[in-house]
Structure 1
Amino acid sequence: MNMTKYVSTNIYLMMTLFVCAISYIYVVNGLKCHAVLGVCSIGIEGVISHSVYVVLLSMCKEGMTRHKTSARKPVVSEDLGKKPMPLRTEEQEVLPVQEIDAIETNRQAAITQCKEYIRKVVAQYFPEKLMPQLLHLVDEYANGIISCTPIMIAINDTKGLRPIDFYHLIWILWTRLNTLDRRVSCRFIKNAFPMILENTNEETIYRKMNDTYVKCTIENIPKDEPLIT
């Protein structure tokens, strides 16, 4: 590359001197101008020749660069001595049929237990006509229906219940059925009893639906204890 540039530079100088000499002779002898104008013509020709030289040199460099780029062999995994990594697909764990049946059996048993608790303990504080709706509430929670069928009853129409009793009720459903998460369960109980919990926010329910025992009408029964003794 350096030798090529050296040769091309010498050729450029020789051609420039030749053109400048011809220009000087033409201006002084051919046009009968003063020698000063002949010297000026030499400078002009030198500038023009240098500009042409720079342009041609740049074009040559660009052409050589493109040629090298196109001739370069693409890098593939074999060149690096590595084989392409196969795509990994995570295998989904498939539960045995017996285990699925056991889970469903336990779920149905929990639903039955919660309904029995509603029938024997909770329903006695409500008008008798609301029994089907109270039992249906368990089914809706078990199926994760957040926008459940509301039970339109005021707190004064119950037999001495307070809002905290409903916090305990949703705690019992949440710990036994485990269908909705704790915070969504707060929304569920508000939807279930909109008149009673109208002025209670979800954060209050969230804080107070816990396993801390408080003496209430509907007691907060720990998960590992039976609902009905």
Structure 2
Amino acid sequence: MILEGPVLIYGRVSLNSFVLNDSTIINYPEKIPVVWNYEFGNPELVLGYAEISRVDNGLWAAVTITNGMFKSVMYNRDKVYCGGYYRCDKSHTLSDGVRCVDKAKLLALGIYLAGDDWLYLKVKEESNKMAVSNMKKEYSDRFDALRKNRVEVSFHKYGAARTNFGDKLVDALAMHELCIEKYKKTKNTEYLVDAANYLMFEFMYPQIDGAYFKPTDDDESAGTIGEPIGEWGCNDAY
């Protein structure tokens, strides 16, 4: 997945009161890291890398996203905000207190949900078309619609999930297992919809103490039963 957009506009004062102009000397390597919210100390929040180019009014970035979780986030977002992480080598302060940078090195990009309105990244059209195409093949909108309908039915029939599962009145994991067994016996896929909802409720209101979420790598993965086509190197990567 490729994101692109302006990461610096000359003469625009940032939210933290500094400005870079077309006279500012800006150096940067061929590729720079892109992280979530400038969290450089957490490798799980590294989103990918950016290639920077100069345009008439500032700097433009083409960002290659390598973080799978962030790709899924971008399926449902029009854009995200971004900003440069600079090492200021020389600057001076203007009469209004704004720090004017004379020379700097761009070390990395930060991506976040809110920031300067003029600094943003959007999914590149070709990349977005491929992602949407993959989602059409790999995701069932009908299943999702049925699942949401069953949540509504459950609310009116059994009460609020935040009470039933948040207060541990109902065991979500045990109900999930029961639904899977019923599906195997009856072949009624309604039980798969219910099973998915019970997993969602366990995610929202964990009944296992200390439950947490983090993306896993190959070493930590639960593994697969069978031999996925991706293991043969035939999957369509994007």
Q: Which has the larger radius of gyration?
A: 1
Give the structure with the higher percent strand.
Answer: 2
TM interval, shorter chain, is under 0.3
* TM-score, length-scaled by structure 1: 0.22
TM-score normalised to structure 2 length:
0.22
Considering Cα pairs closer than 8 Å and 6+ residues apart, tell me whether 1 or 2 has the greater RCO.
Answer: 2
